[in-house]
Amino acid sequence: DAGVIQSPRHEVTEMGQEVTLRCKPISGHNSLFWYRQTMMRGLELLIYFNNNVPIDDSGMPEDRFSAKMPNASFSTLKIQPSEPRDSAVYFCASSLGSDDTQYFGPGTRLTVL
């Protein structure tokens, strides 16, 4: 049974470029979460969706970040324009219901030069 799938696994880009991270949740899961992990701040929630609807985006750093979930099997996190301080590992997690156990993907390591 496939777990959460994220792509790309690694992304290196230059400051000012647009970056799109992708996530496919576990089939049948109705909730999807985006987290960011840095050495300084640890794992932080950015945004989460229930049944494809954004519920809480209070963790999104600023307007340069946006997330969408056009259907139950796909979500994107976009950064435009990217900045060096956005360098981090971005994780996607999904759960059956919003208050069930969250299962994490392998992450996307983003480096902005």
CB of 70 to another protein, least distance (A): 21
3-state DSSP assignment of residue 111: strand
| Per-residue mark of binding to another protein, 45-84 (x: CB under 8 A) | x--x-x----xx--x-------------------------
Pairing of strands 103-104, 88-95: antiparallel
- For every residue of 41-99, DSSP letters joined together read TEEEEEEEEETTEEEE-TT--STTEEEEEEETTEEEEEESS--GGG-EEEEEEEESSTT
Residue 105 binds to another protein (criterion: CB under 8 A): yes
Q: Looking at beta carbons only, is 82 or 95 nearer to another protein?
A: 95
Residues that bind another protein (CB under 8 A): 4, 31, 33, 42-45, 48, 50, 55-56, 59, 91, 93, 98-99, 101-107
